[in-house]
Amino acid sequence: MPVPGHPVCVRITHVDGIVLARSIFKHSINYRSAALYGVGRLITEPSEETDALLRFSEKILPGRSDEVRPMTDQELKATAVVAVDIEDAVAKIRSGPPVDDAEDVSWPTWAGALPITVHLAAPIPNAHVPADMPLAESITTYLKVRLS
């Protein structure tokens, strides 16, 4: 029988912009956030840990795990993976312009939103990559999908 885990909360927030009103007390941020609540379980079985790490890696850059050397036993020993059985979740979003009080609308300053974006840039090779080595297929595929 497995030993019960500890309660955990995993929180993630992505900032989309800074919202500037005519009053500092009305400033805000545009964001997307989520909180997941559940019970954590340390994965101790090496094959389950390896599988979890490979699945995580493949979510970030599909195909990359086939292009790199396998993980070593020492790397696995130095890494902890926690599975979370999600029992509850909440998500919040804030978007749009500032909401000025009526008496502040005539204040003579700029108000609005400063969007924050993340974009892909050109790959930068490591110093040890030969100049004639092409990008790995996982990277070219990723770029094609993301830039189309």
pLDDT tens-digit readout, 82-110: 999 999 999 999 999 999 999 999 999 99
Across 111-128, b (16+ Cβ under 10 Å) vs e yields bebeeeeeeeeeeeeeee
> For the whole model, what pTM was predicted?
0.75
pLDDT tens-digit readout, 18-75: 999 999 999 999 999 999 999 999 999 999 999 999 999 999 999 999 999 999 999 9
- Domain residue spans in the chain? 6-120
The DSSP line for 109-128 is S--EEEE-----------TT
Residue carrying structure tokens 């009103």: 21
CATH superfamily of 6-120: Electron Transport, Fmn-binding Protein; Chain A (2.30.110.10)
